[in-house]
A = this chain, B = another copy of it.
Amino acid sequence: MSIFTGNHILSVSQFDRDAIERVFSVAESMEPYAKRQKRTTVLDGAILGNLFFEPSTRTRVSFGTAFNLLGGEVRETTGMANSALAKGESLYDTARVLSGYSDIIAMRHPAAGSVAEFAEGSRVPVLNGGDGANEHPTQALLDLFTIKRELQFNNKTIDGLHIAMIGDLRYGRTVHSLSKLLCLFKNVRFTLISPKELAMPDYILSAIEDAGHSLKVTDQLEGNMDADICYQTRIQEERFPSQDEANKYRGKFRLNQSIYTRHFQSKTVIMHPLPRDSRMEANELDNDLNLNPNLAIFRQTDNGVLVRMALFALTLGVEDLVSQYEKPVIWYSNKS
């Protein structure tokens, strides 16, 4: 039992530093199971209701996989077109009914605030898997967890981190949530690089300054690449007034291996919330970076499984029982 047991996970603002460190410590303890070195059945018989009223393959499968890796079962619902919600049922009613069918719920929905409203009717813990422009707390936690792990290789900590955030900082939900979480730590140096039209909102800037962090706002990539972590975001063409503007933007904020070699310090870790669009010629994160060992984007998604396993274990109160229900793994795996 912990402060998490039986509770919802709806927003990054629920977390203080102790809570984050508890999640990360449990997430670390999940690695042998995620790497198939061992099997645990601690959640044998438990059912996850995986409710994705808005599609998101990777978040949905990541939640489901995390639950399976703890020994539980997954009942899934995708789309909303034919659901009772579409026939005018309230989120409260849907929550009352569906929470009768499971032990815990992961939910994504296009409307801001919908997951919290659903949680009020739910009789089991609800994990927010993204509610529109509002919140996506498990993404923010896995981003921060990745930063912690990447820094560890270099004997650094989140306290004292220098992070550069690049691209669309205005509409990018992930950089907002990550910034909020970083405000719980000490002496973080932010370099925010974006076109002026896509600058970080003022309320986030204020929060960063209120936390006593150092802050540099610029629209130039060059000369600003001495960060420990470089968090690149998605280029969204439709944000720009014209194709010319979009092209200019892509020219300025694009990363590839040659730019990395010329401008970055040798250990700068590159992160991105994915997916990245590979249809254009000049991508925000070119494929030639795939061989760069500091490209952490796939470690991010792998870490997502650990963080979600930790949140399931904590909300269902089994975080200290996991290793008591261990078995060996007997099939072939190259994850271990």
A-B contact list, 17 entries, CB within 8 Å = A42-B330, A47-B69, A55-B81, A57-B77, A58-B101, A62-B101, A65-B75, A65-B102, A84-B274, A87-B275, A89-B276, A92-B278, A97-B301, A123-B334, A124-B335, A318-B330, A318-B332
A98 at the interface (CB under 8 A from B): yes
Complex CA gap A274/B47 in Å reads 23
Asked if A277 lies at the interface with its beta carbon under 8 angstroms from chain B, I say yes
Task: Report Cα–Cα, A83/B68, bound state, in Å.
Answer: 22
For A55, list chain B residues within 8 Å (CB): 81-83
Q: Is A61 an interface residue (CB 8 A)?
A: yes
Q: How many residues of A contact B (CB 8 A)?
A: 74
- B-contacting residues, A119-169, CB 8 Å: 123-124
Closest chain B residue to A321, Cβ basis: B330
Q: Which residues of A contact B (CB under 8 A)?
A: 1, 5-6, 36, 39, 41-47, 49, 55, 57-58, 61-62, 64-65, 68-69, 71, 73-77, 81-84, 87-90, 92-94, 96-98, 100-103, 123-124, 274-280, 287, 290, 298, 301-302, 305, 315-318, 321, 327, 329-335
Cα distance A301–B97 in the bound complex, in angstroms: 6
Determine the distance from Cα of A47 to Cα of B69 in the docked complex, in whole angstroms. 8
Are the CB atoms of B47 and A39 closer together than 8 Å? no
Chain B residues, Cβ within 8 Å of A329: 45
A316 / chain B contacts, CB cutoff of 8 Å: 331-332
- B62 with A331: CB separation less than 8 A: no
CB–CB B101/A84 < 8 A:
no
Which residues of chain B come closer than 8 Å to A301, judged between CB atoms? 96-97, 100
B84 touching A298, Cβ below 8 Å:
no
Contact of A68 among B75, B92, B302, B318 (CB under 8 A): B75
CA distance A302 to B123 in the complex (A): 12
Which B residues lie within 8 Å of A302 (CB)?
A: 100
Residues of B within 8 A of A276 (CB): 89, 93
* Shortest CB distance A139–B (Å): 13
Residue of B nearest to A123 (CB): B334
| Cβ of A254 to closest chain B Cβ, rounded Å | 15
